[in-house]
Amino acid sequence: MFFWPIRIYYEDTDAGGVVYYANYLRFYERARTEWLRAEGIEQDEIRQNDGILFVVRSAEVEYLRPALFNDEVVVSASLSEVRRASLKFRQEIRRINMQGELLSSAQFRIASITAKTLRPAAIPDHLMERIKKDEL
């Protein structure tokens, strides 16, 4: 499991100091990007070298408790399924200062597509080797 800490800034919240629901998607995206980076995979490099992009195909998000201005949270990312042209992640956002209180949980299907045609494409073998070692 991979963890990425995030501080909630005023810009992330509504007028009441509660994180706007769509910003959770941004937090989840950051954690997945940093997971790839930790695996030695830079998305700009795979676009340039392999001609592929990773894009969200589907998202299922549950909002359980509100994150608030100035909270410190941790976003997890774990790979739950690997297919030839897609990855599935399980993710959570937890508040750090309250014994890891669960704020949100989500599942994302990430598709591999060609940068030129935006059509599905197999994940290159050299990337698949790095990715598969983390499959649950």
Q: Contact 76/34 with Cβ under 8 angstroms?
A: no
Give the 3-state secondary structure of residue 6.
Answer: strand
Range of the domain at 117: 2-132
Q: How does pLDDT run across 7-42, given as a tens digit for each residue?
A: 999 999 999 999 999 999 999 999 999 999 999 999
What is the distance between the alpha carbons of residues 104 and 26, in angstroms, rounded to a whole number?
Answer: 13
User: Total structural domains in the chain?
Assistant: 1
> The domain that contains 17 carries what CATH number?
3.10.129.10
Q: Which long-range contacts (CB under 8 A, 24 or more apart) does 17-20 make?
A: 17/68, 17/69, 18/66, 18/67, 18/68, 18/69, 19/66, 19/67, 19/68
pLDDT reading at 57 higher than 80: yes
pTM for this structure? 0.93
pLDDT in tens, 84-122: 999 999 999 999 976 789 999 999 999 999 999 999 999
Catalytic residues: 14
pLDDT at 135: 57
Contact between residue 96 and residue 39 where contact means Cβ atoms under 8 Å apart: no
